[in-house]
Structure 1
Amino acid sequence: MVVLNKIYTRTGDKGDTALGNGDRVAKNAARVNAYGTVDETNATLGLARLHATGELDAALARIQNDLFDLGADLCRPDMEKDAESEYPPLRMADAQVTRLETEIDAMNKDLSPLRSFILPGGSALAAHLHLCRTVSRRAERLAVELALSEPVNPAAVKYLNRLSDWMFVAARVANDNGNSDVLWVPGANR
């Protein structure tokens, strides 16, 4: 159970912050950038949910919860100590990646194949989902960059990769199953 009774602590006033294991690092450290951008992705999902209903809204709520799991995973650098820890940290699981894949396949089965790239837009929900897609793609790039120098749970990177795909397909669903997609017309304004 998390209890937050004091919101400001002043401990980060000099530009550092605590990771999940208590280590202090600069606020612009690669790990902080990665999980901070996961948090930003979650905030964009909150905006998208203002326009979502039904099963799509329920799926977005599940993803928002997963993103807190992902942030918790990325803020703990000491993966090699997980097995010996009295309280093992929360780590992303391959089952979460598989769930995204299953949902992508279910959404995609009723969509027509694409014959052009899609411009972000159409409905308000689709536009927001495209924003979610691009922010999650940035989070993925930062997690991959982090993994080049520090241990990162492979399931965390896979999840971010699938998430941007999920957002793309969900945006098509939000655009009347692709019927209201805004298609790119190469060289249209020359």
Structure 2
Amino acid sequence: MKIYTKTGDEGFTSLYGGKRVPKNNDSIDAYGTIDELNSFIGLLRDQDIADIYKKFLTQIQIELFCIGSILATPSKNEKKNLNVQKITADEIEVLEHEIDRMDATLESMTHFILPGGHPTVSYCHVARAICRRAERLAYTLHHFEPLDKEVLMYLNRLSDYLFVLARKLTKELVVEEIKWIPKKK
């Protein structure tokens, strides 16, 4: 099978199921951002972090492929016909459990935190910001092609997970969290 097909040279591509759409279609934008997020999570996973995080991030990458296929399928009816996997409440619960587990070891937050402090922490914050964008794009798509609420909930929890992971890695790497303190007027 060839990697290039030349079928997108005129600015159109196919959704899962064969429907042709412009490359700036909301579905393409949404699942393209999921792909970008997945790539940054791969970069984060490649850092010198504990195996527990690497394994969990690998599972997240698998679930993001599932979300990508959901976003690449144009309608609920076609999703059923094409046997597209779903995101379930169980995957959301696992994210919540991991967030709670890590958060229990961290100091309470009293201020917003500036992203950064260490390259690994920064990768985590970049992934979090991309996840927030993916969530916004999924909501845009949701208004035209209703999505299962679990997809939207998963992306919301994933950004929370990435934020707490950034804080946890900050602690483990013994770097300072820089608090954002608003300027006085």
Does the alignment pair 1:57 with 2:54? yes
TM-score normalized by the length of structure 1 = 0.90
The amino acid that maps onto 2:168 is V
What is the distance in 2 between the residues matched to 1:66 and 1:121? 26
Give 1:78 shift. Answer: 2.1
The correspondence of residues 119-130 of structure 1 with structure 2, limited to 5 A, is 119-130=114-125
Q: More displaced, 31-40 or 92-101?
A: 92-101
TM-score normalized by the length of structure 2 = 0.92
The amino acid that maps onto 1:14 is E
Q: How many residues align?
A: 183
Give 1:81 shift. Answer: 4.5
Does the alignment pair 1:143 with 2:164? no
The amino acid that maps onto 2:46 is L
Q: Would the aligned equivalents of 2:73 and 2:79 in 1 still touch at CA under 8 Å?
A: no
Does the alignment pair 1:106 with 2:113? no
Over the aligned positions, Cα root-mean-square deviation in angstroms equals 1.8
Identity %: 39
Q: Which protein has the bigger helix share?
A: 2
List structure 1 segments (4+ residues) > 4 angstroms apart after TM superposition.
none
What is the distance in 1 between the residues matched to 2:28 and 2:13? 9
Pairing partner for 2:9 from 13, 24, 28: 13
Distance change >3 Å, CA 110–CA 67, structure 1 → 2: same
Q: Which runs of 5+ in 2 are unaligned?
A: none
Q: Which residue is equivalent to 1:68?
A: 65
What is the distance in 2 between the residues matched to 1:50 and 1:182? 25
- For 1:17, what is the secondary structure of its paired residue? strand
What is the distance in 2 between the residues matched to 1:185 and 1:15? 46
Q: Which runs of 5+ in 1 are unaligned?
A: none
What is the distance in 2 between the residues matched to 1:133 and 1:119? 13
Does the alignment pair 1:89 with 2:118? no
What is the distance in 2 between the residues matched to 1:165 and 1:35? 20
